[in-house]
Chains A and B, each alone.
Chain A
Amino acid sequence: MTLTPQDKQNQDEGNETGRWASLIGGGAMVLMGLRQRSLRGALTAIAGGTLAYKAATDKGGIGEALGMDKTIKVEKTVTINKPADELYRFWRKLDNLPHFMKHLKSVTVIDDKRSHWVANAPMGATVEWDADIIEERENEFISWASVEGADVDNSGFVRFKKAPGDRGTEVKVVMEYAPPGGAVTSAIAKLFGEEPEQQIGDELRRFKMLMEAGEIATTEGQPKGS
């Protein structure tokens, strides 16, 4: 049997989707493997197959609509001395997230898939968005993406993976977000910090503190001289 060009393309896309799935589940740097691809596209492709993947990679698809060159991508991993199911349960209850994500004001669960997020922005302002869970695998993986009309378009996943040698659980967060253009851009940039890597790293560190030590180390409120 000879493959038509269309068959060939479908097969390549299938391979590509499989490659991403293994990339996201594996031990390597996810963002390095993704290169210029949209994370949202990859996550959708894994969850829903090649059609969604096509939408993400076609010219004029989501990537372009977001202005891919302006998106910020972050990847951070932390190892937590707790079993995956315990960590997953805490995280999956999305209204827990503001406990350790400093910039979040609230997360309201609307239904199984959808939630409403409110984050603090500079000068007392807030930004809001709805997000859908794209895919979830119990005790392993949650991926999400904001829906249309979000103040800050964002997508990402969190992965819980047993660390080698029974040394706890590796928790990886990969995120992509696209600040909107115009006047709010700089405010959004500040919201996520000058260094997004550090910001996400700090959120994960606080998650680890909360899970391992039962509280988040702080010096806020302690005395000092004038």
Chain B
Amino acid sequence: MKAVCWHGTNDVRVDTVPDPKIINPRDAIIKITSTAICGSDLHLYDGYNPTMKSGDILGHEFMGEVVELGSAVKNVKIGDRVVVPFTISCGSCFFCNRDLWSLCDNSNPNAWMVEKIMGYSPSGLFGYSHLTGGYAGGQAEYARVPFADVGLFKIPDGLTDDQVLFLTDILPTGYMAAENCDIKPGDTVAVWGCGPVGQFGIKSAYMLGAERVIAIDRVPERLKMAQEQSKAEVINYEEVDAGEALKEMTGGRGPDSCMDAVGMEAHGTGLEGFYDQAKQALRLETDRPTALRQAIVACRKGGTVSVPGVYTGFIDKVPMGAFMNKGLTMKTGQTHVHRYFRPLLERIQNGEIDPSYVITHRLKLEEAPHAYEIFKHKKDNCIKVVLKPQS
């Protein structure tokens, strides 16, 4: 089959690789009809994860048709149309039982690696380095899905791939980030980053009752999308100081909650931006936390900071004094996709949200190298790429 393989920094290729096969009784094989490139894939593309190996198959946002089942999978049929959560979860451990699916105990064969850095390992993830299990990803014609009896969600007839594909990751990620904002009636939520997760975070914040949402980015078409699709107020941080602007826009009190939908490769400005670029380049700091710092400082006293943005390692100069003295709460985590599938599918079915509006590019699988390039450099107004492996 054809698959998008990582070969090094800024080097992805479409290789011909063996077809996946059933390895464990709870496995399934999916023929992939749609697969997206995630902003977090760019962290791998940019070479910030040292546990990537040449030849690793990328991709964790994919859906398709069931073509083969392991002997233990009884609740899914060959031919079912399914979406696949990006988190791999066993469904029977302490964490899965508590609806904390991304913290599954049993799905990361390389848990020992993570334990050295994080103490305990979260779940395995598709196509996201050997730190999270080294599972082959879904930017391919076929993929093997472990624990398929709990890791496949059947899609009802009448919904297109574009409408349901993002149930795999970015829609529940934006939604969980908004839930983590602990929104009360009348609240103002500030969202750093207007990539697809930020867009869905903004929309979800309104769905969960926010009075106002203020979106912060520097890419004009992304700010425009937030404005037009979700009626967010916007701040271009290259034109104004985001912190000052937020203070003015919120009557001098600050937003009730702040969402960092940027993560480890934030673009800082001025001296601070240079400091983090230099430290990250020299590997003295693994992650650049500009958005997180701003979110902590900008948040009103007693507010909540929600962090859907991905961090993998260590950050410098966290304003812990502001965090502690203002009595803030921080909520974060990889998304518990399984928890949100059904309620969000209902919102799609009843027309509350059609997530396909973030898609700017639909390309063939073979065009993946070009897709990574335009997505990384935000060329051609690229916000979200969907690859169609069967076309």
CB within 8 Å for A81 and B93 given contacts A198-B112, A221-B23, A223-B1: yes
Closest residue of chain A to B116 (Cβ to Cβ) is A198
CB within 8 Å for A217 and B133 given contacts A225-B3, A225-B13: yes
Q: B92 interface residue, CB < 8 Å from A?
A: yes
Closest residue of chain A to B111 (Cβ to Cβ) is A205
Q: How far is the CB of B138 from chain A (nearest CB, A)?
A: 12
CB within 8 Å for A213 and B26 given contacts A81-B93, A168-B94: yes
A-B pairs under 8 A by CB, number: 95
Q: How far is the CB of B327 from chain A (nearest CB, A)?
A: 30
Specify the main secondary structure of chain A where it touches its partner. Answer: loop
CB pair B57 A224 closer than 8 Å:
yes
Cross-interface CB contact of B146 among A202, A205, A217, cutoff 8 Å: A217
Q: How far is the CB of B336 from chain A (nearest CB, A)?
A: 17
CB pair A212 B56 closer than 8 Å:
no
CB within 8 Å for A222 and B92 given contacts A213-B106, A213-B147, A217-B106: no
Q: B19 interface residue, CB < 8 Å from A?
A: yes
Alpha-carbon distance between A212 and B19 when the two chains are bound, in angstroms? 29
Taken residue by residue from 187 to 209, chain A's Cβ proximity to chain B (1 for < 8 Å, 0 otherwise) reads as 00000000000100110010011
CB pair A223 B94 closer than 8 Å:
no
Taken residue by residue from 60 to 75, chain B's Cβ proximity to chain A (1 for < 8 Å, 0 otherwise) reads as 0000000000001000
Alpha-carbon distance between A205 and B57 when the two chains are bound, in angstroms? 26
Alpha-carbon distance between A192 and B243 when the two chains are bound, in angstroms? 55
CB pair A214 B7 closer than 8 Å:
no
CB pair A213 B93 closer than 8 Å:
yes
CB pair B23 A81 closer than 8 Å:
no
Q: A145-195: which residues lie under 8 A (CB-CB) from chain B?
A: 167-168
A: interface residue count bin? 20 to 34
Interface centre among B20, B21, B53, B94 (most CB of A within 10 A): B94
Specify the main secondary structure of chain B where it touches its partner. Answer: loop
CB pair B23 A224 closer than 8 Å:
no
CB within 8 Å for A224 and B106 given contacts A198-B112, A215-B26: no
Q: A126 interface residue, CB < 8 Å from B?
A: no
Q: B135 interface residue, CB < 8 Å from A?
A: yes
Alpha-carbon distance between A222 and B3 when the two chains are bound, in angstroms? 12
Q: B174 interface residue, CB < 8 Å from A?
A: no
Cross-interface CB contact of B5 among A213, A218, A219, A225, cutoff 8 Å: A225
Taken residue by residue from 15 to 31, chain B's Cβ proximity to chain A (1 for < 8 Å, 0 otherwise) reads as 10111110111100000
Alpha-carbon distance between A168 and B105 when the two chains are bound, in angstroms? 14
Q: A198 to chain B: which residues have CB within 8 Å? A: 112
Q: How far is the CB of A207 from chain B (nearest CB, A)?
A: 11
Cross-interface CB contact of A223 among B13, B18, B90, B107, cutoff 8 Å: B18
Alpha-carbon distance between A220 and B107 when the two chains are bound, in angstroms? 14
Closest residue of chain B to A225 (Cβ to Cβ) is B5
CB pair B106 A223 closer than 8 Å:
no
Alpha-carbon distance between A218 and B88 when the two chains are bound, in angstroms? 12
CB pair B109 A217 closer than 8 Å:
yes
Alpha-carbon distance between A176 and B133 when the two chains are bound, in angstroms? 30
Q: B180-201: which residues lie under 8 A (CB-CB) from chain A?
A: none
Cross-interface CB contact of B107 among A79, A217, A221, A222, cutoff 8 Å: A217
CB pair B105 A225 closer than 8 Å:
no
CB within 8 Å for A201 and B5 given contacts A223-B19, A224-B17: no
Alpha-carbon distance between A200 and B129 when the two chains are bound, in angstroms? 24
Q: B59 to chain A: which residues have CB within 8 Å? A: none
CB pair B24 A224 closer than 8 Å:
no
Q: B55 interface residue, CB < 8 Å from A?
A: yes
Alpha-carbon distance between A146 and B5 when the two chains are bound, in angstroms? 48
Cross-interface CB contact of A225 among B23, B57, B106, B111, cutoff 8 Å: B57
Interface centre among B5, B18, B106, B112 (most CB of A within 10 A): B106
CB pair A225 B124 closer than 8 Å:
no
Q: B30-79: which residues lie under 8 A (CB-CB) from chain A?
A: 53-57, 72
Closest residue of chain A to B4 (Cβ to Cβ) is A225
CB pair A215 B24 closer than 8 Å:
yes
Q: B91 to chain A: which residues have CB within 8 Å? A: 213
CB pair B94 A79 closer than 8 Å:
yes
Q: A201 to chain B: which residues have CB within 8 Å? A: 112, 115
Beyond known contacts A217-B124, A218-B24, A224-B56: 17 more, CB 8 A cutoff = A81-B97, A168-B94, A201-B115, A212-B90, A212-B92, A214-B25, A214-B26, A215-B24, A215-B26, A216-B109, A217-B24, A217-B108, A219-B133, A222-B136, A224-B53, A225-B7, A226-B55
A-B contact pairs, 11 of them (CB 8 A): A168-B94, A208-B105, A209-B106, A213-B107, A214-B25, A217-B107, A218-B23, A218-B109, A224-B17, A225-B56, A225-B57
10 nearest CB pairs, A to B: A225-B5, A225-B15, A225-B55, A213-B90, A223-B17, A224-B55, A223-B18, A213-B106, A215-B24, A209-B106
